């Protein structure tokens, strides 16, 4: 019920913004919703699966580059480019997961980080497709004869995909597979000892999350028709992780809340000048990262299980 209410509000939002001449906020909201999808996909492995992957940007960035490269090469149909982005991200997750999941704990964190950084450096050195400078696309993907260039249409496409992803996650965590994943997070040795091939389940979970991460990447490439290699950088992985931890590890809405709070906060600090804060520290906006960090620290201290966990406890 609450979920439906949230989506009704999100559906009304751009209409209100249109009336108030605030289309900029619709674009910002699309970006937040795309990051919500990416963070949700990370939450599946990290929160539900208990696998602390520090390389999720690899799948996010790979999805973005697939769409970007295909667009530059003349393939702009979303029906072709997006499934391709999902497939490539899933394949990357299959390879990276198959190797990384043989390790545990800190080793797993480091090896996923290493793989993602490897992919980052590959794309930085790929001069044909922008290298350091990134890749500009001729425009957003097309659907049949139409394009997704209209920001309002774009917002609703992203919102629809987010709704589908959240519903799928809701189903998945209650399915047989979801129970096994929860059991593995809880007690891996025992899950194996009652007959579950643990490695295969973890790999499947990793691949699903990678595929959805790739889908989010396909969307972020379209958001500004530009693909930056920074999407693959470890800072991106860290940002997604912060969103998940901030929003609520292992909760359906964790990724959404985390993305909204983090990106909303960044926007608030860099684009608004808060009078009393400026009086206190005149150039606080030049140190936006520090300001965001302090607020995040306060939130995490107040809600150690994330914002979604905070509301569930209350």
Partner 1 sequence: MLELRAVSKRYGGVVATDDVTLDVTHAEVHALIGPNGAGKTTLIGQISGALETQSGRIIFNGADITRLPAHARVAAGLARSYQITSIFRRFSVLENLALAVQARSGSSFRYWRPVAAEKPLFAEAAAIAAEIGLHERLGTIAGQLAHGEQRALEVGLALATQPQLLLLDEPMAGMGPRESQAMIALIARLRTRVTMLLVEHDMDAVFRLADRISVLVNGRLLATGAPAAIRADPQVRQAYLGEELAA
Q: Which residues bind partner 1 (CB under 8 A)?
A: 171-172, 174-180, 182-183, 186-187, 189-190, 192-198, 201, 204, 208
CB 167 within 8 A of CB 104: no
Instruction: Provide, rounded to whole angstroms, the least separation between the CB of residue 249 and partner 1.
Output: 14
Distance CA 292, CA 28 (A): 17
Instruction: Provide, rounded to whole angstroms, the least separation between the CB of residue 182 and partner 1.
Output: 8
Comparing CA positions, the residue from 65, 42, 76 lying closest to residue 218 is 65
Distance CA 22, CA 255 (A): 25
Nearer to partner 1 among residue 49 and residue 61 (C-beta): 49
Instruction: Provide, rounded to whole angstroms, the least separation between the CB of residue 62 and partner 1.
Output: 23
Nearer to partner 1 among residue 102 and residue 190 (C-beta): 190
Distance CA 289, CA 296 (A): 10
Comparing CA positions, the residue from 230, 58, 238 lying closest to residue 131 is 230
First to last CA, the chain: 18
Instruction: Provide, rounded to whole angstroms, the least separation between the CB of residue 101 and partner 1.
Output: 14
Nearer to partner 1 among residue 139 and residue 197 (C-beta): 197
Nearer to partner 1 among residue 101 and residue 227 (C-beta): 101
Instruction: Provide, rounded to whole angstroms, the least separation between the CB of residue 201 and partner 1.
Output: 8
Distance CA 255, CA 261 (A): 10
Nearer to partner 1 among residue 170 and residue 273 (C-beta): 170
Angle at 61 between CA 83 and CA 241, to 5 degrees: 115
Instruction: Provide, rounded to whole angstroms, the least separation between the CB of residue 196 and partner 1.
Output: 5
Nearer to partner 1 among residue 68 and residue 178 (C-beta): 178
CB 29 within 8 A of CB 155: yes
Nearer to partner 1 among residue 174 and residue 287 (C-beta): 174
Instruction: Provide, rounded to whole angstroms, the least separation between the CB of residue 54 and partner 1.
Output: 25
Phi-psi region of 72 (alpha: psi -120 to 50; beta: other; left: phi over 0): alpha
CB 255 within 8 A of CB 42: yes
């Amino acid at each position: 019920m609450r979920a439906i209410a949230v989506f009704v509000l999100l559906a009304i939002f751009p209409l209100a913004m249109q009336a108030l001449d605030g289309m900029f906020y619709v674009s910002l909201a699309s970006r937040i919703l795309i990051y919500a999808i990416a963070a949700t996909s990370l939450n599946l492995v990290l929160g539900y699966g208990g696998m602390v992957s520090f390389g999720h940007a690899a799948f996010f960035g790979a999805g973005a580059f697939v769409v970007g490269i295909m667009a530059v090469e003349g393939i702009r149909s979303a029906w072709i480019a997006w499934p391709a982005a999902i497939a490539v991200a899933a394949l990357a997750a299959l390879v990276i997961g198959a190797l990384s999941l043989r390790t545990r704990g800190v080793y797993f964190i480091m090896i996923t980080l290493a793989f993602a950084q490897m992919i980052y450096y590959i794309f930085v050195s790929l001069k044909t497709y922008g290298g350091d400078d990134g890749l500009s696309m001729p425009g957003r993907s097309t659907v049949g004869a139409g394009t997704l260039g209209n920001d309002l249409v774009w917002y609703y496409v992203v919102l629809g995909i987010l709704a589908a992803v959240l519903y799928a996650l809701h189903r998945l965590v209650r399915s047989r597979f979801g129970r096994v994943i929860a059991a593995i997070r809880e007690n891996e040795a025992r899950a194996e000892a009652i007959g579950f091939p643990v490695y295969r389940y973890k790999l499947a979970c990793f691949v699903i999350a990678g595929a959805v991460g790739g889908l989010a990447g396909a969307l972020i490439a379209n958001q500004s028709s530009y693909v930056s290699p920074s999407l693959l950088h470890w800072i991106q992985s860290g940002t997604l992780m912060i969103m998940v931890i901030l929003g609520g590890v292992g909760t359906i809405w964790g990724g959404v809340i985390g993305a909204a709070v983090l990106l909303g906060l960044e926007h608030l600090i860099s684009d608004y000048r808060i009078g009393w804060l400026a009086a206190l520290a005149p150039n606080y906006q030049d140190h936006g990262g520090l300001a965001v960090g302090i607020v995040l620290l306060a939130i995490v201290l107040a809600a150690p299980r994330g914002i979604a966990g905070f509301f569930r406890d209350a």
